[in-house]
Structure 1
């Protein structure tokens, strides 16, 4: 019976271990980036916006291509005019049909007509400008889609580093937890031997509980960072936890980065292209006063029997038309288009200035981050040395318990601050590269 219980416990433990190992998925940064570019919803939304704009542009092909329409109509009538016209179209009119009695009161007649109609635009200036506006709009959405992909590359890098930092924080706090428990064991021995007061023991126990609480928060941060990574990947979490297969960088690499704002940046180009689209729309509305020239033609087949085509005829022509006055509708449309164009120009100028402002701010942040890394690294190294000295003196009975606790707390805190500073520097550098890309 005892062996059976041991076997059951072992099986449960092994099953639990396998479940945990299945739920924790190791993933590299390159894998994340590849999946994000393929599955991310933000990219798909941007691509659909581009496809919508491309559909608008393709509609403008009607300016060059003919409009072809075919129809088949059947009627039965005793209407004098329709009856006479139907006989005329069917080419069966005779002299007797001019009898006034038959003209005024004709017999019922059937007419089946097949009409193939073609309309071909020839000159349409405002339509051509509207087509150019649609193309500029399409190009703007294409550039915006490319910029969205560049932004998500940055976001992937940031979220991956956050996940690395979260795991590293767990490791640091687990080490601090082990150190605190070791100190607690040592203090408990001193207390049993009457070398320390109970307040010293209680202080150490409080510190152990604090670290355990911090460790739990750090583990929750790991899951939060993993969930956000799953969101970028457009995948359900379902209890899964991602684990980075690459270690967090613990050093920084100083690089010279071009700090000038480039007009070739995709989002700035998209803003300028959008402004160009509004300019073309404004020009299109101004040229809406000009006449339009269109050609048309149709081919007709008539008969009194269903699906028969004994009589045939055609019609070709051209039409020059323009709106002389439409109750200020076109004038108002032109005024609106002009205001939209000027607004787009102002928004583009404002966006450039905001981008330059953000670039200047990021330059200063990078310098601050570099300084913070250097200072936090020095503070971490000093805290390590201070803790080593205090621990040695404490074992010799030369230091207080509270001093040891404060030193141990400071060391863990400084290590986390240093890792956070490295993360901030590396992300700021990548963000600066994104702003100048």
Structure 2
């Protein structure tokens, strides 16, 4: 008795550990989850944030640069010794004695210094800032396109889950039908009406259906796990179930669709050209004069933490780089080459996008025809099975023929489900490429 209770406990524990919670969820709920948690969207947003952070560095073109320092030095160098004493305002007549000038005693100097540099006009930095702003805008546009792609990926994954459940349902119905037929065949065999081989054929068919159901349920779990991955949640011991079933989404597509030049990925590509133009202008602007202000306030003493002497310096500097060893020229050529390369990439990308759009347009139409043909084949196979079933019940058909007809009917229904999935997926991809 004790062993029986141990066995029951082990079975209960096994069922608890390996049981799965089925969670019903709609496509709308998934869309909200995925926008908040998807890895691809997060990475795209982080890239945009990184560009914004880099853009903060361009504030140096109009904000001052301020440095403060406190320095101790000790020297007997004639020039530095006299200068330090002069800064400390301790020069006397004896300091002009040639002996004291040439061989001064060592002197300590504590210097406190506050420096400020204020940019006024630096055109190269102005163009760099504008280029950084363009880069930030481009990455924000790419983030929006990433969201659109992830939404398409979600719809495709959700339809995969719908198809998997639909196939499980279809196969379970086929099993019910086959079991009903098996019951009749078993009864015929007991009465000696049919041979053992026909019973075995039915058993083989049942095993085949059971294997297909097992495979279909694995597909349900795989599709569910992928959806959990898309919105970054733990999928252990959980399986999603769609609240909507897979349905045919009939729609009309253009025969020769035109590429939308305002599509976000194309917008991002075109806008990136502006950034290269600005970087070229920035390289050229390095030869323009720069206007900057500067100033400093200094305090000196020969004792620590004493500030008996002070002075200031202020001014404005106009400077320009006459020749930099062709460094700026090299930068210009580099940016021009990158601009030309990007223009070529855009042309190639647009051509590829046009080809892909036209291809998916034709595929949608082909899949639509496939849906209609598989539906017709399924309906015909159902009618053929009904006729054979009636004839079989009257003893006019062999069980092998009935089994073949039932198998074909189930197969045609599965093909129709697959055709609907392929059509719906192609239609969603068409809409993604078109918009």
Match of 2:251 among 247, 254, 258: 254
Counterparts in 2 of 1:376 and 1:12: CA distance versus 1, 3 Å? same
Check conservation: 1:278, 1:344, Cα contact below 8 A.
no
What does residue 298 of structure 1 align with?
Answer: 296
1:38-437 aligned within 5 A: 38-244=36-242, 246-255=243-252, 259-437=257-435
Please state how far the C-alpha of 1:139 moved relative to its aligned partner. 0.7
Please state how far the C-alpha of 1:222 moved relative to its aligned partner. 0.9
- Hey, what's the Cα distance between the residues in 2 that align with 1:395 and 1:19? 47
1:134-163 superposed Cα distances (whole Å, 9 cap, x missing partner)? 111111111001111111111111111111
- Hey, what's the Cα distance between the residues in 2 that align with 1:243 and 1:19? 20
- Hey, what's the Cα distance between the residues in 2 that align with 1:22 and 1:86? 83
Moved more, 158-167 or 377-386: 377-386
Counterparts in 2 of 1:128 and 1:353: CA distance versus 1, 3 Å? same
Please state how far the C-alpha of 1:319 moved relative to its aligned partner. 2.5
Please state how far the C-alpha of 1:341 moved relative to its aligned partner. 0.6
Moved more, 16-25 or 170-179: 16-25
Check conservation: 1:376, 1:421, Cα contact below 8 A.
yes
> SS at the partner of 1:195?
coil
Unaligned regions of 5+ residues in structure 1, if any? none
Match of 2:28 among 27, 30, 37: 30
TM-score, normalization by structure 2? 0.93
Counterparts in 2 of 1:20 and 1:391: CA distance versus 1, 3 Å? farther
1:241-295 superposed Cα distances (whole Å, 9 cap, x missing partner)? 2222x13233333356794322221111111122221222122223333332222
Unaligned regions of 5+ residues in structure 2, if any? none
Please state how far the C-alpha of 1:398 moved relative to its aligned partner. 0.9
Give the length in aligned residue pairs: 434
Please state how far the C-alpha of 1:8 moved relative to its aligned partner. 8.4
